[in-house]
Chains A and B, each alone.
Chain A
Amino acid sequence: MNLQNVIDALNLTPLTEPKDFARIEVTEGYTSDLLSCVMAGAPHGGVWVTLQAHTNIIAVAALLDLNAVIISEDAQPEPATIERANDEGITLLATPMKSFEVVGRLWELGLRSN
């Protein structure tokens, strides 16, 4: 499964600069809105589903080398957050779906928890 497949299947909107998403392999995911839990539980190279949209999610995603952050319920990050994500090479994807639904769809696609 690559990130392009995920974006297409869930109809996600990339908020950061486009990349060659088809070349980014994703196999694992994690969800929580508590940053310390993400720090403890998210697999590196994984996809993180959250409705947090503030700048600190980038710091967390960068430290864990996450491939993408899916921001649920149409939560809008500030332009500064998107800029920082671009600087760190983190992909931000937006969706109006609730975290619960996003995770369910990701599971159906074959993504698993580590």
Chain B
Amino acid sequence: MDQSARPKGKIVTDQAAGNITRSEELAYELKIAEVMSTTMYLMSVDMSMDDVLKIFRQAHISGAPVVDHGKLVGIVSIEDTIRCLMANDMQAPVSEYMTHNVIGIQSREPVIEALKTFVNIKVGRLPVLDDDGNLVGILTKGDITRGLLKALQHDYQAEEVIRYRASHLFEDIESDRTSLILRYNISPRDFTHGGSASANIKRALLRLGAPPQIARRTGIAVYEAEINLIIHTTNGGVIRVEIEPQKITIDAYDDGPGIADVEQALRPGFSTATNEVRELGFGAGMGLVNISRCVDNMKLESAVGVGTRLKMKIFLQTEEAFREANPAGKETK
């Protein structure tokens, strides 16, 4: 029908598949003891069917285990009371109408075993027994659904907690100056991984709760620095990002070959990239220009034969808040 003509909602399908997998996993992880009902109405074997029906109606239940001196001997359900009513035999003892050969299930088994049993034998509830054969609970399909939903909810909350913790990292840790330092080693000529460090930094910032605009600016600045290390360095270099509540400090450094004329390197369009590199779309001579556009503060130092160090700063607070935090005279901008 129409369904097939529509573009496939592949993401949703994958997500749904992911959820199915997780609930399947949970069916193996969760023990029956964790999902069963432990509050149950026990019928004693010598009760009359009339009394059973009264309890069913009062408690709004449709079945209950029958015990004889604490041991499980049968199960009585609403169907049994109907049969009994039709036979006009409500004074008969439970033992005459209950199901005798009751299939029980062990409390320490995983939920998946109960699901299999429910599929194989058409019953509405399973009595749950401990290792000694004592009745410890009762299990319906509804209990399983509730148990799975609760476990999924728990998973979800755990994920929320992780996200919350990441975004409150700086508030939760008390010190005179808290910072998070990320380091990335960049290999020379490794164009395949070009952009990985910047992508990871952008992701980390978003996870820490930085505004998307700041994450994007930092990502672009780090990307250009990363590509410069890949294109130009002899032995690669290091990108060090220090994240603090008010600012991000990025340091890209290498041990050679060094830039002969730093001012020339900063000029838009100037590039020393080889034709091979240019063919890949690099070497436009705009890298450092882009960086200066994205950061609040940058400083390029280099010495031929020694190496290059590019320092960049991005302030996270608005300018007003920044000035307040840095009284007049101490302004760095």
Interface positions of A (Cβ within 8 A of B)? 4, 17-22, 33-37, 39-40, 44, 50, 52, 54-60, 62-65, 80, 88
With A55-B192, A56-B281, A59-B195 as known contacts, state yes or no: A36 contacts B287, CB within 8 Å.
Answer: yes
Q: Taking A17-B10, A33-B281 as contacts, is the C-beta distance between A56 and B286 under 8 angstroms?
A: no
Q: 19 extra interchain contacts, Cβ-Cβ under 8 A, other than A17-B10, A36-B290, A52-B281?
A: A18-B7, A20-B7, A34-B281, A36-B284, A36-B289, A37-B284, A39-B220, A39-B286, A40-B286, A40-B293, A44-B216, A50-B281, A52-B280, A55-B194, A56-B195, A57-B281, A58-B195, A63-B219, A80-B192
Looking at chain B's contact residues, the main secondary structure is helix
**A19 CA to B293 CA, complexed, in Å:** 33
Q: Does B11 contact A (CB under 8 A)?
A: yes
**Which 8 A-B pairs give the minimum distances between C-beta atoms?**
A59-B195, A36-B286, A34-B284, A36-B284, A63-B219, A35-B281, A52-B281, A40-B290
Q: Interface of B with A (CB < 8 Å)?
A: 7-11, 191-192, 194-196, 198-199, 202, 212, 216, 219-220, 223-224, 227, 280-282, 284-287, 289-290, 293
Q: How far is the CA of A55 from the CA of B202 in the complex (A)?
A: 18
Find A63's partner among B223, B280, B293 (CB 8 Å cutoff).
B223
Q: Which of A20, A59, A62, A65 has the most CB of B within 10 A?
A: A59
Q: Is the interface of A mostly helix, strand, loop or mixed?
A: helix
| Inter-chain contacts of B223 with A (CB < 8 A) | 39, 59-60, 63
Q: How long is the Cα–Cα vector from A33 to B290 in the complex, in angstroms?
A: 16
CB within 8 Å for A19 and B280 given contacts A34-B286, A44-B216: no
Quick one: which of B11, B191, B219, B285 contacts A19, CB cutoff 8 A? B11
Across the interface, do A36 and B7 meet the contact criterion of CB distance under 8 Å?
no
- Write the chain A residue with the least CB distance to B288: A36
Measured between beta carbons, the chain A residues less than 8 angstroms from B290 are: 36, 39-40
Question: How far is B280's CA from A59's CA once the two chains are assembled, in angstroms?
Answer: 13
